[in-house]
Chain A
Amino acid sequence: AQRVTQPEKLLSVFKGAPVELKCNYSYSGSPELFWYVQYSRQRLQLLLRHISRESIKGFTADLNKGETSFHLKKPFAQEEDSAMYYCALSGTGRRALTFGSGTRLQVQP
Chain B
Amino acid sequence: GAVVSQHPSWVICKSGTSVKIECRSLDFQATTMFWYRQFPKQSLMLMATSNEGSKATYEQGVEKDKFLINHASLTLSTLTVTSAHPEDSSFYICSATGRDNYEQYFGPGTRLTVT
A contact residues vs B (CB 8 Å cutoff)? 42-46, 49, 86, 95-102
Contacts and interface: CB of A to CB of B under 8 A. Distances in A.
SS class, residues of chain B in contact with chain A: strand
- Indicate the size class of the contact surface on chain B: 10 to 19
A86 B34 contact: no
Given A86-B44, A97-B46, A102-B43, A43 B108 contact: yes
Interface stretch (B16-24, B66-74, B78-86, B97-105): B97-105
A66 to B, nearest CB: 25
A42 B109 CA distance: 10
B34 to A, nearest CB: 6
Nearest to A36: B106
A18 B103 CA distance: 28
Contacts of B43: 86, 99-102
B109 A46 contact: no
Nearest to B97: A95
B108 A46 contact: no
Contacts of A96: 34, 46, 49
Contacts of B77: none
Nearest to B103: A46
A97 B106 contact: no
Contacts of A99: 36, 43-45
B32 A95 contact: yes
Contacts of B109: 43
